[in-house]
Structures are given as structure tokens and as C-alpha cells.
Amino acid sequence: MSTFPFESFIELVRFDQATKKSHRAIGKEQKALEQLQDQKKQFEQEFDALKLTVHDAQKVVDATELDMKSLDEREADIKNKIERIESPKEYSGLKKELDAVHASQHELEDTLVGVWNQLETAQRNLTQKQDDIVSKIKNAEQVFQAKQQEIEQLKKTVQENQQSRPDKLKPIPEEWLEKYEMMYKRVDDPVVEIVQGGCGGCFYPTPNHDLARLKRRALLQCNSCYRFVYDPELLPAEASSDMSE
């Protein structure tokens, strides 16, 4: 076997590994996008819950103040009637009614103080947390956009690789390609280096005569798992590193 097909084949494997790495990166980034969306949704829900608490507390305050206003109007009406009555019996009835209104006013005043405290607490919580939550939402949106751009770039790279791959197949013997494509569908690493005299995929020992052939840039298949095996010493250090990823 000539040196050229061997090196072309290894280059193809490196190329396919890089494409596969891009596919994995796309999947990873898409998962990160989903997590960011969930985080952003949680921040928005937290913010909405704080605003809703303020809104509900304000409604209670408004309703209580409206009840207090009604009591005040009732008190003024009773006092106005008392000023115009002449019968002691009628006065006694209005006086009891006025006392009841006063009792309700005192009770409602305590309630009003409580609901005002609740409103102030809710407003304070919203004020304290608003900037932080808004900042987290904005940051999540920025990261989301950045990752979307990364995904688009990765997809572009994958598409370019798919278009250029046929040219990389031309120098490689058809027999190698058939076996390689078959193994590529079965395992993630159809081509592995020899490690300590054995297959780097299944660790099955490689016969000495095959080890000798590998030193001459031969490309063989493991007798156990049928992966292609090669001698990493024949490749530049960075190429061997790329193949092992």
C-alpha cells in the first residue's frame, strides 16, 4: 500500500471526527439553550410573582380603605341625624349605631395597618430584587443569542464539511471506504491507534507481523472488533491527538 492512500485515509478520519465533534457541540449548545430558556422562564416567573404580590396587597389595601371610607361616611351620616333629632329614644338608637360604627372603625384601622405593612413589605421585596432579576433575565438573553450564533456557525461548518467530503474520498481505495463506512455506523471510533501492542478500541493484542506491517504505513483491521488500526508514531503529534478525541 502506498503512503498516499494511508495519509489520505487518516486525513478523512480526522475530518470525520471533526465533523462529529461539531455535531456533538451543536447538541450540547442546544441543550444549553433549553436550560437558558428554563432559567429565563424561572426568573420571569419570580419577577411576576413579586409584582403579583404587590398587586394583590394593593388591592387589599384599596378594598380596606374603601370599607373605612364607607364607615366614615356612615359615621358622618349618623352624627348629622343626631344633631337634628329631638326624641331621646331615637337618640339612643342612633347612639348605639354610632358606637357600633366606631368599633368597626377601630377594628378596621388595625386591619388597615396590617395590610399596609404587607404592601410595604411586598414593595420593598420587589424593589430589592427587581434589578437583580432584570439583570439575570438580560444576561440569559445575551448568552442565549451568543449560543444561537455559535450553533449557526457550527451548522455552517458541518454543511461545508458535507460539501467538501466527497473530494476527500477520491484518493482512498474503495475497499477501505466500504469497511470504514460500515464500521462508522456501528461505533463512534471506527479507526483507532495501536496502544501497547493492541487495538486501541477493544485492546485485543495485535500479532507481531501485523505490528511490523503497521510500521510500514499499512492500514489493518483488528482481528477482534474489526476497527481499522494504525501506528500513531507515523503521524504528527497533533494529528494523533485529533484522532483520539
Q: What pLDDT does 200 receive?
A: 92
Q: What pLDDT does 219 receive?
A: 81
Q: What pLDDT does 42 receive?
A: 93
Q: What pLDDT does 2 receive?
A: 43
Q: What pLDDT does 107 receive?
A: 94
Which stretches of the chain score pLDDT less than 70? 1-4, 235-245
Q: Which run of H or of E encompasses 192? A: strand 191-195
Please name the residues in contact with 72: beta carbons below 8 A apart, sequence gap of 6 or more. 105
Number of neighbouring beta carbons within 10 Å of residue 206: 21
> Which residue has cell 349605631?
97
- What is the C-alpha separation between 39 and 48, in angstroms, rounded? 14
Say if residues 35 and 103 touch (Cβ distance below 8 Å).
Answer: no
- What is the C-alpha separation between 245 and 238, in angstroms, rounded? 11
Q: What pLDDT does 238 receive?
A: 46
Please name the residues in contact with 138: beta carbons below 8 A apart, sequence gap of 6 or more. none
Q: What pLDDT does 80 receive?
A: 92
What pTM was computed for the model?
A: 0.64
Per-residue pLDDT reduced to its tens digit, 68-89: 999 999 999 999 988 888 778 7
**3-class DSSP state of 57:** helix
Q: What pLDDT does 133 receive?
A: 92
C-alpha cell at 190: 471506527
The one-letter amino acid at 233: E
Q: What pLDDT does 241 receive?
A: 46
